[in-house]
Structures are given as structure tokens and as C-alpha cells.
């Protein structure tokens, strides 16, 4: 096949010098023809997906980009073009990256362990302290089981939705630390971006660096990722640890590959294997957010797909609007999608549909 024809092959990855080794699907035991049906499947689902990236055995084998409507953080909403070098909002997939950074901070002994009390890091907020906070640890924030009164499953305009306060309050950290404790830690799982913003602030306090600077140095530079942004809330200028990361999809897939490789990229240990194992161990039934059949670890989701009458387990980073990083350990596979299904009933359906009905079935060998 002539080189120019090969480049036209459906979903054939671009040759960008970003650290990924690229290969054909067939060379890693995947059916390229089946993967080629992804675009048609998206048409059937009538859903706005911007990118699909697939890696197997540590090699990038498929990427496809689609123009469409988007609401990028801090930019005008409307039609946008997407390519292999276009950054995309990760939204709450940022939470999973923040968890990796906590692990790195613990590896570097900037934080003793995940069992450290949260209040230890905020001596300047003693006045905000509510009864019960002294028993809350970093682990409780990581697993969203702190028990603090928090609700972000409401309409954005509902004053009882806590999440907008992270952006509107002059001091969002103080806002989170002033929440009353509704249940003892480890008893009630509640989706909570405020806890993640606390973790991001703790990283800044122990490292003496802005979160984006620490993330660049400790995680992204070793991954060969240079084109990233970590957005701050426009009103108060505080970094949005829970939602503000923007990455190229290929670079987000590297984060998945890092977890799949137990904290390694290209032979370098970036996060300890022990932290990865702790992070992706199921700890709670995550009831009521992104459905209720999922499990939750340290800011990572665990679920399963049904493919060929067989259950296949996966680990995921989930972001609002359909941002997904799926890690399938038993198939040595990573899939990443970006989308603009913000607040839609169909949010995320395209990603799990493609994963379960095309990408996993395209694997022709189990090794």
C-alpha cells in the first residue's frame, strides 16, 4: 500500500511527535474494519462526539475527530473544529488527574498518607470548622465519602446546588470547609467536587506551587505532555481542581495508559504502583450519579461492559458532557472520548456504546 493511501485508512493515527508509538489495529490483534464503523455508529446514535482515541498494548491504533458544537471553558460556545492537536475540556475527568497528583505528593513525602486529617492542612480556617470535620481525612475526600452536606445533582441555577458556589464564592475553600457534616465519614457516598478542590488546594500548599505548575512538572512533563491548561474560576481566580483541566485527547489517553501500566510511562515510574492499585480498587457503590451500577475508588470509576456475552471490567475517568477515559486491564486497552453532551439525557451513552459494541468486540485475541 502506498504511504498516501495508508494515511487515508479509517482512524489511522497522525504522525505527531508526542511520545505515542502508532500502529495498525491489526498489528495489535484488533479488527480495523470494525473500528472503522465508529463514525456510522455515532450517526445512528445522533450524538455529538468530538474525538475517539484507542490504544492497545501501549500503541495508539485509532483516532478520529469530528467537528461540532462545544462550550469550551472560557471561550465562546458554538461550532468548533477538532484535530489531534486541539485541546478539549476534560471537565470532571480532572478529578482523576488530581487523585494521581495526590499520589505523587504522597510518593514525594509532601503528604504523609491519605489518612492525614484534612484540617491539618488548613490551620488558617479554624473559624469555619464545623462539628465532625476533625475526623475527615484525605481518603474520605478521595472516595467522596466525607459525609459533608453537599448536593450538586440539582439544576445549575438552583441556589441549593453547591457546585456553582466553587466558582462564585470569593473564597471557595472556605465555603467547602464551612459545610456541615451530615453523616459520619465512610457511610454515605455523595458526588462532591468541593472535596476535590480541597485536594487541589492541599497539593498547592504542600508543594508551594500552583496546581497547574505542579501537574506539569510531576505528571505531564514525564508523559511528554506540554500543551495543557488548568483553568481557574473566572469570578474568584481559584484553580478548578475538580473540573478545569484541558488536554489533547491523545494526551488524555496517556493518562489512561499510565494507569493501565501501574503508574509507568515508557519505563519511567511516575506514580507508585501501590497508589494506582489503591486508586482503582472499588470502595463505594456510587449511587445516583452517572447511574447507580458503578463503583468508586480514589476519584476513579469502575464499571463493566457486556461484549460477546462476556462481562469485561473497566476503570474510568468521567467528565461532564461525555469526556471519558476507559482503561480495560484484561484486554490491555485504553479508549478516550470527548464530546459536548452537556446536561443531556444521552450524556456519555455514545462512549459506553462504542466501547462495548465496537472497541471491545474488535479485539481478536485476549493477549
Full DSSP string of 183-203: S-TTS-----HHHHHHHHHHH
- Determine the pLDDT at residue 8: 52
CATH 3.40.710.10 fits 3-72+247-359, yes or no: yes
Task: Report the pLDDT averaged over residues 170-196.
Answer: 97
- Determine the pLDDT at residue 343: 83
Concatenating the DSSP letter of every residue in 265-296 gives: ETTEESS-HHHHHHHTS--EE-TTSS-SS-EE
Q: Is the pLDDT of residue 38 over 80?
A: yes
* Whether the Cβ atoms of residue 89 and residue 240 lie closer than 8 Å to each other: no
| CATH topology agreement for domains 3-72+247-359 and 95-220 | yes
Q: Nearest CA to 339 among 48, 140, 55?
A: 48
* Whether the Cβ atoms of residue 331 and residue 305 lie closer than 8 Å to each other: no
Cα 113 from Cα 96, distance rounded (Å): 18
0.75 surpassed by pTM: yes
End-to-end CA distance of the chain: 28
* Whether the Cβ atoms of residue 327 and residue 315 lie closer than 8 Å to each other: yes
**Residues pairing with 246 in the sheet:** 89, 229
- Cβ contacts of residue 142 below 8 Å, gap of 6+? 99, 102, 114, 195, 199, 279, 297, 298, 299
Cα 182 from Cα 131, distance rounded (Å): 10
Q: Which of 198-202, 224-228, 350-354 has the lowest mean pLDDT?
A: 350-354
Name the CATH superfamily housing domain 95-220.
DD-peptidase/beta-lactamase superfamily (3.40.710.10)
Sign of CA dihedral 87, 90, 96, 102: positive
Per-residue pLDDT tens digits for 88-133: 999 999 999 999 999 999 999 999 999 999 999 999 999 888 999 9
Location of C-alpha cell 459533608: 148
Per-residue pLDDT tens digits for 329-345: 999 999 999 999 988 87
Provide the pLDDT confidence category of residue 140 given band limits of 50, 70 and 90. Answer: very high
Per-residue pLDDT tens digits for 41-80: 998 877 789 999 999 999 999 999 999 999 999 999 999 9
Task: Report the pLDDT averaged over residues 5-21.
Answer: 82
**Mean pLDDT taken over the chain:** 94
Task: Report the pLDDT averaged over residues 197-219.
Answer: 98
Cα 187 from Cα 76, distance rounded (Å): 41
How many Cβ atoms are within 10 Å of 290's Cβ, its own excluded? 18
Q: Is the pLDDT of residue 81 over 70?
A: yes
**Which grid cell sits at 183?**
453523616
Pairing of β 21-22 and β 59-65? parallel
Q: How would you label 26-46 residue by residue, b for 16+ Cβ within 10 Å and e otherwise?
A: eebbbebebbbbbeebbeeee
Provide the pLDDT confidence category of residue 2 given band limits of 50, 70 and 90. Answer: very low
Provide the pLDDT confidence category of residue 351 given band limits of 50, 70 and 90. Answer: very high
Q: Nearest CA to 300 among 322, 320, 283, 313?
A: 283
* Whether the Cβ atoms of residue 257 and residue 55 lie closer than 8 Å to each other: yes
Cα 170 from Cα 179, distance rounded (Å): 16
What residue spans define the domains of the chain? 3-72+247-359, 95-220
Q: Is the pLDDT of residue 7 over 70?
A: no
Provide the pLDDT confidence category of residue 6 given band limits of 50, 70 and 90. Answer: very low
Amino acid at each position: 500500500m502506498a504511504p498516501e493511501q495508508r494515511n487515508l485508512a479509517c482512524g489511522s493515527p497522525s504522525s505527531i511527535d508526542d511520545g505515542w508509538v502508532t500502529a495498525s489495529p491489526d498489528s495489535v490483534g484488533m479488527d480495523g474494519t470494525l473500528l472503522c464503523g465508529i463514525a456510522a455508529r455515532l450517526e445512528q446514535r445522533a450524538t455529538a462526539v468530538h474525538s475517539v482515541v484507542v490504544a492497545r498494548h501501549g500503541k495508539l491504533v485509532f483516532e478520529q475527530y469530528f467537528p461540532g458544537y462545544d462550550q469550551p471553558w472560557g471561550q465562546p460556545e458554538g461550532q468548533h473544529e477538532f484535530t489531534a492537536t486541539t485541546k478539549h475540556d476534560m471537565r470532571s475527568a480532572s478529578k482523576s488527574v488530581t487523585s494521581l497528583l495526590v499520589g505523587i505528593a504522597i510518593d514525594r513525602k509532601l503528604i504523609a498518607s491519605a489518612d492525614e486529617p484534612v484540617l491539618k492542612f488548613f490551620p488558617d480556617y479554624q473559624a469555619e470548622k464545623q462539628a465532625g470535620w476533625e475526623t475527615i481525612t484525605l481518603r474520605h475526600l478521595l472516595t467522596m465519602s466525607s459525609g459533608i452536606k453537599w448536593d450538586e445533582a440539582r439544576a445549575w441555577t438552583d441556589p441549593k446546588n453547591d457546585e456553582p458556589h466553587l466558582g462564585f464564592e470569593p473564597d471557595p475553600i472556605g465555603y467547602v470547609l464551612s459545610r456541615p457534616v451530615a453523616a459520619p465519614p465512610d457511610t454515605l457516598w455523595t458526588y462532591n467536587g468541593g472535596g476535590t478542590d480541597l485536594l487541589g488546594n492541599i497539593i498547592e500548599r504542600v508543594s508551594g506551587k500552583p496546581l497547574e505548575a505542579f501537574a506539569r512538572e510531576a505528571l505531564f512533563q514525564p508523559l511528554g505532555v506540554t500543551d495543557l491548561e488548568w483553568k481557574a474560576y473566572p469570578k474568584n481566580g481559584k484553580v478548578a481542581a475538580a473540573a478545569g483541566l484541558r488536554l489533547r485527547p491523545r494526551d488524555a489517553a496517556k493518562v489512561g495508559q499510565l494507569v493501565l501500566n501501574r503508574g509507568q510511562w515508557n519505563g519511567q515510574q511516575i506514580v507508585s504502583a501501590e497508589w494506582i492499585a489503591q486508586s482503582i480498587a472499588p470502595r463505594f457503590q456510587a449511587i445516583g450519579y452517572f447511574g447507580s451500577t458503578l463503583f468508586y475508588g480514589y476519584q476513579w470509576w469502575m464499571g463493566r461492559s457486556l461484549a460477546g456475552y462476556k462481562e469485561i471490567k473497566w476503570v474510568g475517568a468521567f467528565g461532564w458532557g461525555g469526556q471519558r477515559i476507559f482503561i480495560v486491564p484484561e484486554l490491555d486497552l485504553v479508549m478516550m472520548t470527548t464530546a459536548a453532551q452537556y446536561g443531556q439525557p444521552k450524556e456519555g451513552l455514545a462512549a459506553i456504546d462504542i466501547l462495548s459494541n465496537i472497541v471491545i468486540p474488535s479485539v481478536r485475541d485476549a493477549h
